[in-house]
Structure 1
Amino acid sequence: MDVEEIDPVTGRKTTGHIWNGIRELDTPIPRGVLLFLIATHLFAVLWWFLMPTWPLGATYTKGLLHEDQRTAVEASLREGESARAGWMDKVKSMSFDEIRADEKLMATVRSSGHQLFGDNCAACHGRDAKGGSNYPDLTDDDWIWGGGPEKIAQTLTVGVNSGHPDSRVGQMPAFGRDEMLDRQQVSDVAAYVQSLSDPSKSTAENIEEIDKGREVFQTTCVACHGKEAKGDPELGAPNLTDQHWIYGGSLQTIIDTIHGGREGHMPTWDERLTPVEIKVLALYVNSLGQMEP
């Protein structure tokens, strides 16, 4: 029969195990820890009965309280819709001009529009709406299809080069790739276009090239961009005389654009957003640039 060994320092029993001269004490688990473990197990068993818990093939146990995260979210959504109903009804019934004239209502529109923008538009245009590579800046008052809220709402509804039957359609032809212009003509007109937005690029060394480019522009590009190169919102043709570029304003980038063409795409949002939400989003986007229609 083993004789129990007592540690002379603590007065507790030992397990009989020794490591490097150190004897292991037979220390019991603290009562508080045991009570906590018992309580958590009891709570878990109780929770199995109160809340949805066990999968049963195509369904699951509903729980005695009949509560779950889905019902909580649905209730929260209903509460949010109820809270928004008042001002959303105003937005629905009022014209764009009437809404913009109501600063209190516009404050609510901007707040809600900011959330809609973050959820739906920020992936391409950025959370600050300043765009990025191949995506337009929405804060600079430079609009391809028009910047009034009505125009923006239409663009949101039908998209650009989308599958919508009424989609806005715009395309920059590939003048070089499709051999409408030769390599020298592409280079000349690119130099001319760059000089429109940056006169410092017009120098004594390239003035002859720019003059030739002007002639190419007049015979090839004015149909869309206009004689003054100010663009045409009805065609989605951008203004070439300012400093706002979607694809970049370097000479090489302009050459690439003229040679290979461009065709931007924007999805239609009429199936994802309600007409009122589109209206709110259009007013918000319009307010980013503070542009008058």
Structure 2
Amino acid sequence: MADKNKHVDEISGVETTGHEWDGIRELNNPMPRWWVYTFYATIIWAIGYAIAYPSIPLVREATKGVLGFSSRAEVAVELANAKAAQAGQLEKIASSSLQEIIADPQLQQFAVAAGESAFKVNCAQCHGSGAAGSKGFPNLNDDDWIWGGSPDEIYQTIAHGIRYAGDDETRVSEMPAFGDMLTTDEMRQTAAYVVSLTGTPSAPELVDKGKQLFADNCASCHGVDAKGNREMGAPNLADAIWLTGEGEQAVINQMKAPKHGVMPAWLPRLGDETVKQLTVFVHSLGGGE
């Protein structure tokens, strides 16, 4: 009785499944034998894999598998091999000067790669992932250096930091608050002169008076030509690169209440080898001298 109720397609003579969509019926053709056997093979393969390798999760761990394979153990071996391969290079870096490292192409390449990794972990938070800096944090890609851009000078800055209280060799400089020494008009005049070195101030008539005020109050640190003094950490004011802000008001704000950046001393935290690698990396960015 059931067979009589089955629908058979008139054209192909094949029974349909009984499913129908908008008058279209589905033929009940059997799957090809090769496909069925392949499907059975995948099931057998999966069962064998689950027995041979760690795969079935339990309450606290997974089944270990009869082959005893462990991806963690493989990673541990790879890390150990990597450290062993690096050991020779690290020993060379430890025993070499910065100039010797830079002069050795292979050693320099290793130091740059390692220094870039250390930079991303320890320095990118302030200087940016590309070392381009931001307001208050120097761009390390240009050639404008407050404390100097030679390898030895970069090493000194990284190793001992800037205004870092925990290191006796840290870089130290302090700009006085001229808001207590100069009037508002005098600061405006000085700012007009500073801006005139790289652009056009809003009140050009103030420049001459500002130049004299600069010579009397600022030239002892920034230089008569306003090009700075790296020994004192006084930035160059005669270029278009600004650290804490650009424009006359930014200059006045800095004169009135100076901002003094702080950088940690990385030598105690990272060690001499890593600081050397950071130095070589920063020096290689293009702005190193």
Task: Sort the TM-score into its range (normalised by shorter chain).
Answer: 0.7 to 0.9
Separation in 2, partners of 1:39, 1:114:
49
Amino acid at match of 1:206: P
Amino acid at match of 2:57: W
Q: What are the equivalent positions in structure 2 for 1:79-98 lying under 5 Å apart?
A: 79-98=81-100
Distance 1:24 1:104, change over 3 A: closer
- Secondary structure of 1:282 counterpart: helix
Separation in 1, partners of 2:39, 2:222:
76
Deviation at 1:93, TM superposition (A): 0.5
Distance 1:248 1:53, change over 3 A: farther
Q: For the Cα contact (< 8 Å) 2:149–2:287, is it kept in 1?
A: no
Q: What are the equivalent positions in structure 2 for 1:169-248 lying under 5 Å apart?
A: 169-170=172-173, 172=175, 175-176=178-179, 179-196=180-197, 198=198, 201=200, 206-207=204-205, 209-222=206-219, 224-248=221-245
Q: What are the equivalent positions in structure 2 for 1:96-115 lying under 5 Å apart?
A: 96-115=98-117
Amino acid at match of 2:76: E
Separation in 2, partners of 1:141, 1:45:
63
TM-score computed with the length of structure 1 as normaliser: 0.76
Separation in 2, partners of 1:30, 1:173:
88
Amino acid at match of 1:281: L
Separation in 1, partners of 2:259, 2:204:
26
- Measured against aligned partners, the alpha-carbon deviations of 1:181-240 in whole angstroms (never above 9, x if no partner) come to 4432332221122233x2x6379x624x22332344345434543455333334432122
Distance 1:39 1:252, change over 3 A: farther
Separation in 1, partners of 2:121, 2:196:
39
Separation in 2, partners of 1:172, 1:121:
25
Amino acid at match of 1:153: Y
Separation in 2, partners of 1:26, 1:193:
88
Separation in 1, partners of 2:209, 2:145:
29
Q: For the Cα contact (< 8 Å) 2:158–2:275, is it kept in 1?
A: yes
Separation in 2, partners of 1:288, 1:265:
22
Q: For the Cα contact (< 8 Å) 2:151–2:288, is it kept in 1?
A: no
- Secondary structure of 1:283 counterpart: helix
Which residue of structure 2 lines up, in the alignment, with residue 139 of structure 1?
Answer: 141
Deviation at 1:282, TM superposition (A): 0.4
- Secondary structure of 2:26 counterpart: strand
Deviation at 1:279, TM superposition (A): 0.4
Distance 1:34 1:282, change over 3 A: same
Give the paired residue count: 285
Distance 1:254 1:20, change over 3 A: same
Separation in 1, partners of 2:187, 2:40:
81
- Secondary structure of 2:77 counterpart: helix
Which residue of structure 2 lines up, in the alignment, with residue 54 of structure 1?
Answer: 57
Q: For the Cα contact (< 8 Å) 2:126–2:133, is it kept in 1?
A: yes
Separation in 2, partners of 1:19, 1:33:
26
- Secondary structure of 1:100 counterpart: helix
- Secondary structure of 2:285 counterpart: helix
Which residue of structure 2 lines up, in the alignment, with residue 73 of structure 1?
Answer: 75
Deviation at 1:273, TM superposition (A): 3.6
- Secondary structure of 2:139 counterpart: coil
Q: CA RMSD in A?
A: 3.5
TM-score computed with the length of structure 2 as normaliser: 0.77
Which residue of structure 2 lines up, in the alignment, with residue 264 of structure 1?
Answer: 261
Which residue of structure 2 lines up, in the alignment, with residue 285 of structure 1?
Answer: 282
Tell me which stretches of 4 or more aligned residues in structure 1 moved more than 6 Å: none
